[in-house]
Structure formats: C-alpha cells, structure tokens
A and B are shown apart, each in its own frame.
Chain A
C-alpha cells in the first residue's frame, strides 16, 4: 500500500535533485569560462585533462546534467500527481494509472542511476585532486591570484558533486520502494 507521505517525499527529493543537477551544470559553465580565460597555451591542457579524467568533455557533461534535470522534473511531476490521487482518495484505477505513469517516467533514471552515481564519484575524485594539479602549473602560465581563486573554488564544486551523488542514491532507494 502506497503512502501519500512516501510519494510526497520522493517528489520533494526529485525537485531538489533537479535543482542540484542545474547547480552542477552551472559549475560546468564556470569551468568553461575559466578555461576560456586561461592563456592559449594552458587552455587545451585544462580541457583535455578534464575530459580524460571525468570521462566526458564539458559539453557532454552539460548534456547529461540537462537530461538528468529534465528526468527529475518529469518524475517529480508524476510523483506529485500520484500523491494528489492518494491524498484525495481516488479510486484504484486512477491510482494505478498514476503509478504506471510514474514507473514509465522513472525507468530511464533507474536504468542509469548506477552509471550516474559512478560519473559523479569520478568527477568528485577529479575535483579532489585538482588543487594539486593547479599548483603544479608553472607560474609562467597562471598568475598567483588566478591560481588561488581556482584552488579556493574547488571545495564548493566538490560539495555540489557530493550532494547530487547523494540525491541520486536517495531517489533510487525511494523509487524502488514505491514502484516495486
């Protein structure tokens, strides 16, 4: 028996996850802007290093995060409709239809959650090692002020990656509990 509270909790988690995906996508924008602002000699190095160590280039990350955001929004809407049906005491047919709709829209996320969690763990690990790499760039190619600013900004991106990874794990558990 589905509980309204359980489905509402899923809807809220999906809303947060959608926002988290968007926030991380903005982080990719920041990365792009930073890379474009670097001297010409350092630009391809930074872009290549990012792609080699995160599995995707910045544009691919943007596509993935955009799709993840859209998927979470769709699940949140379906979960909200199901929660409303449950709260209003709708008949079994309507509840089953709302549940089926939720399952359909959640299936691609369930199938890709493990890969998404792994991707977030990969980029998080990359971000954790980034300050050491930044500090190895010769002074000739990066001013001290730029270097310090970059290093200081890294922990915030690690937090965003960790938050999205945690939300992927949480929503996966919640979806399995509701759908199965």
Chain B
C-alpha cells in the first residue's frame, strides 16, 4: 500500500483523511490527538513495515518534489503515527511501534498518568498495609 503526495504542502487533514480511508475497513485507526505541534494517531492490532522515497523532475513546467511512503503489514503490535504540523507532507509523518520504540514507552507513561486522573474521578480503593500483606503471605 503506497501513499503518494505530489503536493508537499498537503495539509495534515488531507493526510489524516488518506490514512482514515486506508484503515477504515479494518477499524484499526484511533482518533487523532493533538500534542502541541504534533498529531498522534494510535493504531492497534497492526504491524507496520514502512518504506519511503522521493523524486525530482519537472512536469509540465512545474517542479515536482513528489514523495511517497509505503505501509504494509498484518495483525500485530500497537503502533502510533505522529504527524508534525510544521512539516506538511510525507516528511512530517513518522510511524513508531510501541514495543520497540522509546516514544511508545513515553506514550504509555502518558496514558498511565491519564489513568491516574481517571482514578481520581472514579475513586480508588484503600490499599492493603504492609502488615496485612505479610499476614496474607504467611497464611
């Protein structure tokens, strides 16, 4: 599967629309979340392989800086697509797998904090004391 973006000024929304259309059939693309100048799109149950390329040359008198990247994969680990608002087009797209990428670990940590927030909303339970825990382990 290959996406070509001839216009290097393609907007983030167009890129998002492309990705959504590609993955809508398998419902594996999550909702986009904005973090400052980045847009993160979580992807679950997909294993990605990526490849990219670019080319120069003229077409009908216009300079072309067409670039493309390919996605291929199967059901597999979670990944996240990061789109950079400051770098429109393919140059601003990064795909990271959580299991092997530091960014994924950071994102997981972010979600842990999010979960802690949820706990404050739902209400946590009283923890077992060390003494109680010792009694349980010696029962």
Residues of A whose CB lies within 8 Å of any CB of B are 39-45, 48-49, 52-56, 60, 63-64, 67-68, 71, 108-109, 111-112, 114-116, 118-119, 122, 125-126, 129, 132-133, 136, 138-141, 143
B111 near A45: Cβ-Cβ < 8 Å: yes
B138 located at the interface, meaning its Cβ lies under 8 Å from any Cβ of chain A in the complex:
yes
Surface stretch bound by A, among B16-24, B58-66, B118-126: B118-126
A36 to chain B, nearest CB (A): 12
B51 to chain A, nearest CB (A): 23
Separation of A139 and B33 alpha carbons in the complex (Å):
12
A119 near B127: Cβ-Cβ < 8 Å: no
B125 near A40: Cβ-Cβ < 8 Å: no
A119 near B111: Cβ-Cβ < 8 Å: no
Interface size class of B (residues with CB under 8 A): 35 or more
Q: A39-B45, A39-B78, A44-B112 are in contact. Are A109 and B139 (CB under 8 A)?
A: yes
Q: Residue A141 contacts which of B27, B30, B123, B124 (CB distance < 8 angstroms)? A: B30
B99 near A40: Cβ-Cβ < 8 Å: yes
Q: A49-B119, A141-B30 are in contact. Are A111 and B135 (CB under 8 A)?
A: yes
Residues of B near A60 (CB, < 8 A) are: 133, 137
Separation of A63 and B42 alpha carbons in the complex (Å):
36
A119 near B136: Cβ-Cβ < 8 Å: yes
B108 near A44: Cβ-Cβ < 8 Å: yes
Residues of A near B111 (CB, < 8 A) are: 41-42, 45, 141
A129 near B122: Cβ-Cβ < 8 Å: yes
Closest to B123 in A: A129
Give 11 A-B contacts (CB < 8 Å), ordered by A residue.
A44-B108, A44-B112, A48-B115, A53-B125, A53-B127, A55-B127, A64-B136, A67-B139, A119-B128, A119-B132, A122-B125
A52 near B132: Cβ-Cβ < 8 Å: no
A112 near B42: Cβ-Cβ < 8 Å: no
Separation of A54 and B136 alpha carbons in the complex (Å):
13
